[in-house]
Amino acid sequence: MSLALPSFTPAQESLFLTLGGRALDSRLPRPFLGDTMADEILTKVGYDLARFPALTTKFLDARSRVFDIAVRAKTLDDLVRRFISEHPDAVVLDLGAGLDTRVFRIDPPPTVAWYDIDFPEVIAVRSRVVSQRANAHSIGADLTDPDWLNEVPGSRPAMIVGDGLIAFLTQAGFVALLNRLVHHFPSGELAFNLYTRYAIWAVRHAPGMSVIAGGVVNPGFNDPRQPERWVDGVKLVDEIFLTRAPEVDGLSPAMRATARLAAPSARMSRLVGTVVVRYRFKSG
C-alpha cells in the first residue's frame, strides 16, 4: 500500500529521514533500536527513501548510516523512561513527533498522559498510519502558536522531548516555545538533540539532505548552557555525547576509531557526533 501524501514542506518531510533511519535500523541483524513499527509505517506510507541519499549512500556501511538517528532515539527514550519511573503521574510531550512511535517503544503506565504534537498536515497522516493508544493524544498545531498548550494539563510534572526538531524552529520561535513550556508546568525536564552551528551548516549543505535543507532555519548553538540564559528556571543536567555511547562498539572499524578519537573531548564530540541535552526546570 502507498498513501497519497499531502505536499509537505521541507520541515515536515524531514520526518521521513528519522522514520527511515529507524526503519532501516530495524532491518539490521543487530539493530541499535529495533523499532519494527517504524518499518511497518514506512511500508504503509510507501515513501521512497532514495530522496534521502544520507540513508542510502554506498559510501557508508548500513550501521553507520543509521547510528545517529537510532541511538539518539534510544537515548531520548531512556531519558523519558527514567522520568516516568520517578513521576508516574507525568505528562509527556513529544514535540515534532512526526510518525515516531516513541509511546509504543516506551509503553508508559496508564497514569501517564502522552501528547504527540506536530503540524496538522503531519498529524492527519499520523492518524491514518499510527494506531490509537489509550492515554496518548495527538495535537495538530504549529508549535510556535501559543494556543495548543491550552489542551495540555498544566498541573503535573512534564517530560518534554524533541527528536530532530530544533533545526526547524527559528531562534525566536524556539526561545518563545521554551518559555511557554516552562511556565505551563510546575516542573519537569526537557531533552532534545542539540544542533551546533556546524551541524546546522552541515545539514544545509550536505547533498544527502537537500530535500530538507530549505526548512532548516535555526542557527544552532554550541554552548549547551545557552538555554539557561534564555529561560529563567532552566538548568542543564546532562550533555550526552553519542561518541561515548556503548553502541559505538557496533560500528565499522573506521567509524569506531573516529568516535573513540573524538570521545575524550567535549568539543570534538560536538563536532563529529550527535549530542543529546537534558535540562531540569521549575517555573518561577
Ligand X SMILES: C[S@@+](CC[C@H](N)C(=O)[O-])C[C@H]1O[C@@H](n2cnc3c(N)ncnc32)[C@H](O)[C@@H]1O
State which residue, 142 or 228, has the beta carbon closest to ligand X.
Answer: 142
- Locate 22 and state its grid cell: 529507524
Contacts of 168 (CB under 8 A, 6+ apart): 11, 14, 96, 215, 216, 217, 218
Coil vs helix vs strand at 14:
coil
Q: How many residues bind ligand X (CB under 6 A)?
A: 22
Which of 183, 139, 191 is closest to 163 using CA atoms?
191
CB of 141 to ligand X, least distance (A): 7
Q: Near ligand X by CB under 6 A, which window of 91-99, 103-111, 126-134, 198-206? A: 91-99
Closest CA to 20 of 71, 53, 55: 55
Question: Which CB atom, from 12 or from 269, has the smaller least distance to ligand X?
Answer: 12
x/- binding map, residues 49-88, to ligand X, per CB under 6 A?
----------------------------------------
In degrees, to the nearest 5, what angle opens at C-alpha 46 toward C-alphas 44 and 47? Answer: 130
- Contacting ligand X within 108-167 (CB under 6 A): 118-119, 122, 142-144, 163-165
What mask of x and - would describe binding to ligand X in positions 9 to 48, judged by CB under 6 A? --xx-xx-xxx-----------------------------
Which one, 28 or 176, has the nearer CB to ligand X?
176
Q: Label the pairing between strands 234-241 and 275-282.
A: antiparallel
Using CA atoms, how far apart are residues 219 and 201, in angstroms rounded to an integer? 8
> Should residue 168 be labelled a site residue for ligand X when binding is judged by CB under 6 A?
yes
- Length of the chain equals 284
The SS3 of residue 53 is: helix
- Site residues for ligand X per CB under 6 A: 11-12, 14-15, 17-19, 96-98, 100, 118-119, 122, 142-144, 163-165, 168-169
